[in-house]
Chain A
Amino acid sequence: MSVRIYIPRDASALSLGAEAVAAAIAAEAQRRGIELRVTRNGSRGLFWLEPLVEVEAATGRVAYGPVHLEDVPGLFDAGFVEGARHPLRLGPTEGIPYLKRQERLTFARVGVTDPLSLDDYLAHDGCRGLRNALAMAPADIVKAVTDSGLRGRGGAAFPTGIKWKTVLGTESAQKYIVCNADEGDSGTFSDRMIMEGDPFVLIEGMTIAGLAVGATRGYIYLRCEYPHAHRALNAAIATAYARRCLGADVLGSGRRFDLEVRLGAGAYICGEETSLLESLEGKRGQIRFKPPLPAIKGLFGQPTVINNVISYATVPLILDRGAEFYKEYGMGRSRGTLPFQLAGNIKYGGLVEKAFGVTLRELLYDYGGGSYSGRPIRAVQVGGPLGAYIPAAQFDAPMDYEEFARIGGMVGHGGLVVFDDTVDMAAQARFAMEFCAAESCGKCTPCRIGSTRGVEVIDRLVAGQQPDKQEALLRDLCETLTHGSLCALGGLTPAPVLSALNHFHEDFSRRAKVAA
């Protein structure tokens, strides 16, 4: 009799030693004559418990974690292969409160299945959305996506169905489906987890998009910092071709869809859609003027759907369960769920997929358990490096695109970067300008030059050289950036800067005071 064991191959799990643990478990089992069947799954997204090892016991999957090398012999001694007691035993995986209280729709399979097994994917509702879509008229597919209320999960939150409708309505011999997998925002890793943990769902979602708008070719633009996701995607795409989920005859329908992965090269700006398209065309990733919209004139000048990984990965579920099912989750105009990512100085960091409407406080304390350092949480940057720093007084804000914007925040891609009370917010504001200077594509002046001037002004402000004048200058500069930049990099860099200045003003005068 053999025992099934799950050990994640997710990059974060590997970064905490999952590979060595997997090797040790295999060696120990062999030594003891126990036959194991090891599945390298994605991560459940409970990163403080990684490497999280699961055993398929008679009663279901039982979790142990975090498992370190030195724990392995003891686990075998205790009989963990039967799900027996051990100090690292966490009980049935699905019963872990952090996981149990989530609403995992897009992430339903991540950590559960073998990411590279198409059979496992099919056994867990895979390709049901695609089969439905193949029987539908393109306009009906677009309508289902529109009716679901799905909005772009990359951060801009533009209604996905509207974008698709524009591409469907634009005549062209060649249209493209492009996936923005340039997940460059610090504090975000949900795209990576999908690509490593359930790559077939992304392939399925992009194929459905192709059917919906009449596009036969797709590109996944993946950041080169994600070698693990690159390998997983390439392996899944090869399998999908071999099993006719991709290619000239998708699931025997006679419809074509081709897909390939292209690597970025470390430019943050290529997460901006027009810059990404330039990069895919083999050029410098400089942004384009809009209009024309990519939906009308996108990749190689052709109508192009460009969406984020999570947007595409959510489409199969909508086509499978229906727009109404998805729409029931959420609040206001923010429908469905968002995979929030708890990052930075947080005790229980990981992925929390919840319906919109959950508050920042719930995420930080009920899930996150407060800071990793044990010190009070002072600020949280929500929505990536271009998102505002939120002070504790605003932690009760609900995570909803519109409600969160009301307090000057941006839900964005759902990343939360937590800082404790040792943070120097003037330094964070300076970093925002420094980052903008490093990553600006150079197309427009406020971003290209304003960011460098911003660093200098903050330096003078912090040094106490005519602070009132510097502050006025900084605010003026931020206004120029906000209104004078073509894209979100220049346009939103003021968000972290001004939120730091407005909510944590004391940090900008501290050093000058100490000196005086």
Chain B
Amino acid sequence: MKRQLQEQAIRPMPAARPLAEGQRAEVMEVIDRLRALPGALLPILHGVQDALGYVPPGAVALIAAELNLTRAEVHGVVTFYHYFRTTRPGRQVLQLCRAEACQALGAAALERHAKQRLGVDFHGTTADGRYTLEPVYCLGNCACGPSLMLGQELHGRVSAERFDALVGAAS
């Protein structure tokens, strides 16, 4: 009862729609599994993003209430880290490395090509919902650039042709 009241008192902002019932159950499962960890917030946010693909704004209030944090604290953490996203991504996230070692091998040209080929800017999702394009600063593949990560698959020496083959083949 008390928990319910607490959640109501910090009702999400108008923009943050409450979680759908299915999502709420998944978020609660993650919270219950990880809440005992010291410093549990990052593991929980990872867990939510692993389960749902993103951290819905509606999850912020629930996590805050369950961890006895303010919504501002949780929101602050979600938005501090580049990796956490608050909107649903495409079916696959494509991370393109923008760091120096890849720059030295033409990452900027590959970036232009990727944006044109997919028809989106960074953080955008393709019209068919297949890909979300994200920048990343280093994938640790610095002797084999330019590099990208498609889902959890790392690719090196990515030319424009190789890029086209990758996004053409993957689904």
Contact = CB atoms under 8 A, between A and B. Distances in A.
A261 B115 CA distance: 35
A431 B102 CA distance: 13
A346 B143 contact: yes
Interface stretch (B9-17, B24-32, B36-44): B36-44
Interface in B58-111: 73, 76-77, 80-84, 95, 99-105
Given A15-B147, A266-B82, A344-B104, A225 B138 contact: yes
A279 B41 CA distance: 9
Nearest to B154: A15
A344 B83 contact: no
A184 interface: yes
Given A265-B81, A266-B81, A11 B140 contact: yes
B91 to A, nearest CB: 18
Interface residues of B, number: 42
A256 B44 CA distance: 27
A341 B104 contact: no
Nearest to A387: B100
A11 B46 contact: no
A268 interface: yes
A300 B104 contact: no
A189 B100 contact: no
Given A266-B83, A343-B101, A419-B104, A192 B156 contact: no
Given A343-B101, A428-B100, A265 B41 contact: no
B137 A268 contact: yes
B138 A282 contact: no
Given A47-B144, A265-B81, A284 B154 contact: no
Given A417-B101, A417-B142, A12 B40 contact: no
A418 B104 contact: yes
A509 B157 CA distance: 32
B56 interface: no
B76 A15 contact: no
A349 B100 CA distance: 15
A284 B155 CA distance: 31
A226 interface: yes
Contacts of B149: 225
Contacts of A188: 138, 140, 142
Contacts of A26: none
B103 A12 contact: no
A386 B62 CA distance: 39
Given A225-B139, A282-B41, A344-B101, A16 B144 contact: yes
A192 B143 CA distance: 13
A241 interface: no
Contact of A431 (B46, B103, B138): B103
Interface string A215-231: 00000000011111000
Contacts of A400: none
Contacts of A415: 101, 142
Contacts of B38: 281, 300
Interface in A426-460: 428, 431, 435, 438-439, 441
Given A265-B42, A266-B83, A435-B137, A381 B144 contact: no
A327 interface: no
Interface string A341-354: 11111100110000
A139 interface: no
A280 B42 CA distance: 8
B152 A186 contact: no
Contacts of A344: 100-105, 142, 145
Most buried by A among B76, B138, B154, B157: B138
Contacts of A438: 137
Contacts of B152: 227
Interface of B: 38-43, 45-46, 73, 76-77, 80-84, 95, 99-105, 136-145, 147, 149, 152-157
Given A284-B76, A415-B101, A415-B142, 12 more contacts: A15-B141, A186-B100, A186-B142, A187-B142, A264-B42, A264-B81, A265-B42, A267-B80, A267-B81, A342-B143, A344-B102, A385-B100
